[in-house]
Amino acid sequence: MGWVWLFATSIAAQTGSGPSFSLPSKGSEVVVRLIERIDGIESEEAGPTTTVFADGRVVVERPSYMKQAGRHETRLSPEDLRAWLATLLETGVTEFDSQRTRGDREAADRAHRLKQVGRSGTEVFDRSSASRIDFELYVDDFRAAAKGPGAEETVRKKIDWRGLRRDASRYSELEDLQSLEAAVRMTRTLGRKSIVEATGSAK
C-alpha cells in the first residue's frame, strides 16, 4: 500500500478522558474510508464511498444511480476533524476483531436455540438483503499515551462485513458489532453532511 506513517506533527493531544491519537503528517493520506456495496443492485459502478483525509478533506463519491451522484468535497477544520475522530474512536471500533465477532455471533445463535422449547415456536430472523461494507481506519493508536511517551502505534484497521445492519440489530449484546455499526453510521453521517455543505441541498 505504500503507507508512510510519519508522525512529525502530532495535531492532537489527549483531551479530557478521550482517546489520544495522531494523524499522518501528509494531508493526502487517508484516515477513514467507507465503501458500501449496495446489495440487490446490478451495476458495474461501485457503491457510495466516503473518504476522510488527514488534512480534513471529506470526499464523497456517489454512483450515477444515487441522488447527489458524483464527487463532492468539503473540508473539516483541524479541530473538527480531531473531534470527529475522537468520537469515532470512542466507539471502540479499533478493537473490532472479525473472527472473534463471528464466533460470538455463532455462540449467540446456539444460545438462542437452546432457549427454545423444541422446534415448534422457535423464533427465526431474516433480512432479505445484506449489503457489504469495507471500513478502513488509519490513525495512531490512541492507547499510545497510556503506554508512555514514544509508544505510538499505528492503527491500521480494515474491516469487511456483510449484513452489518442486520447483525447489529439482531445481536445487540455483541459490543464489537455495535462499535462497528456506530463507526460506520458516523462516517455515513459525515458524508451526508459533507454533501449538504457541498451542494447546499439535502436531497
Partner 1 sequence: MYSILPIRRSLLLALSLGWFFQVSTPSLSWGGAFTFAGESNGTEVVTHPTGYTGTGGTLTVSVCIDSSSPDAADMEIPVRNVVANWNARIPTTGNLVAGAASELSPGEFDFESVALHEVGHCIGLAHTNAASESGLSGNDRNYTKATDGADNTFDLDAGTDGVIGSADDVRGDDVNLHWFRTATNDPFTIDSVVDSTTYSQDLADLPVGDFFPANADRSVATLLGVPNSEAVMQQGTFSYESQRTLVHDDIATLRYAMSGLNEVAGDSDDYDLVLDYIGQATSCDIKLAFDDAETGFAVCSTSGVFVNAEHIRISSANVYFNTGFNWYFNSSLLGCGDGVLDAGEACDDGNQIDGDCCSSTCTFEAVGSVCDDGSACTETDVCDGVGSCTGSLVVCDNGLFCDGEETCDPASGCESGTPVGVDDGISCTDDSCDETLDVVLNVANDTNCDNGLFCDGSEVCDAALDCQAGTSVAVDDGISCTDDSCDETLDVVLNVANDTNCDDFNDCTADSCDAVLGCAHETIEGCEIPVDATGPTSRFMLYALMVLLGTIGAGAVVTGPGDERG
Nearest to 131 by CA among 175, 156, 177, 167: 167
| Shortest CB 8 distance to partner 1, Å | 25
Residue 57 Cβ vs partner 1, minimum distance, rounded to whole Å: 21
Which of 99, 115, 149, 200: binder of partner 1 (CB under 8 A)?
Answer: 99
The angle subtended at Cα 154 by Cα 151 and Cα 159, nearest 5°, is 145
Q: Residue 99 and residue 65: Cα distance in Å, rounded? A: 34
For residue 30 the three cell numbers come to: 487517508
Taking residues 101 to 140 in sequence order and writing x for each that binds partner 1 by CB under 8 A, - otherwise, the string is -x------x---------xxxxxxxxxxxxxx--------
Task: Give the nearer residue to partner 1 in terms of CB position, either 44 or 150.
Answer: 44
Interface with partner 1 in residues 144-203 (CB under 8 A): 156-163, 165-167, 169, 185, 188
- The answer to whether residues 92 and 70 touch, using CB atoms and an 8 Å cutoff, is no
Give yes or no for residue 13 binding partner 1 (CB under 8 A).
no
DSSP helix/strand/coil, 133: strand
* Radius of gyration, CA atoms only, the chain: 19
Over the window 20 to 59, marking each residue x when it contacts partner 1 by CB under 8 A and - when it does not, the resulting string is: ----------------xxxxxxxxx-xxx-----------
